[in-house]
Amino acid sequence: MIARLRALSKLIDRVNGGLGRAVSWLSLVMVFVGAGNALLRYCGRFVGHNLSSNAALEAQWYLFSAMFLLAAAWTLQQDRHVRVDVLYGRLSPRGRAWIDVLGTCLFLLPFCIFAVWVSFPSVAESWRLLEQSPDPGGLPRYPVKTLLLVALWTLIAQGISQLIKHGLVALALVGDEP
């Protein structure tokens, strides 16, 4: 049973790690889109026409949203999330594992499940309407809204992976490293 749980955890880690590394490249794309749009806006002053676009502006924040949302599970996996560790750093590995197990069970998973439940109707309605930006020349809104649900599900999966790893340490079924 422990071997199966560890295999599941490794699979989740591999998927979320790959997704996180892939979306990290979006930062480069975002910089090029932003710089290109700024350059076009600046050049537009000389030709007397607006060369920048709402689509480029929106693409920039869509890319930022994708980076932030889709890398959240990877951030959790890498233990790079924000933590108030006044006591955490002083605890033994087993004590830290218990804190992580309790935090995952009491806060992370319930919050993510609640957020999926609350967000789903809005995302479904956005897809039903094929919601568009209210700005002229803007982009569709339903894909970026969908990223929220995808991010929450990857965070739930990563929470389960973390729960497996830290739970095994907390119960002293494996060594001190998750």
Instruction: Indicate the SS3 state at residue 178.
Output: coil
Using CA atoms, how far apart are residues 31 and 61, in angstroms rounded to an integer? 11
Q: pLDDT band for position 80 (50/70/90)?
A: confident
Task: Tell me: pLDDT of 39 over 80.
Answer: yes
| Choice among 103-107, 148-152, 159-163, 170-174 with the minimum mean pLDDT | 170-174
Q: What is the CA angle 81-95-110, rounded to 5?
A: 50
Whether 167 contacts 120, CB under 8 Å: no
Q: Model confidence at 100, in pLDDT bands (50, 70, 90)?
A: very high
Two structure tokens written together for 134: 């209210």
174 backbone φψ class: left, alpha, beta (φ>0; ψ -120 to 50): beta
Confidence of residue 156 (pLDDT cuts 50, 70, 90): very high
What pTM was estimated for this model as a whole?
0.87
* CA–CA separation, 45 and 169 (whole Å): 62
pLDDT averaged over every residue in the chain: 91
- C-beta separation of 26 from 66 below 8 A: yes
Looking at residues 67-86, what average pLDDT do you find? 88
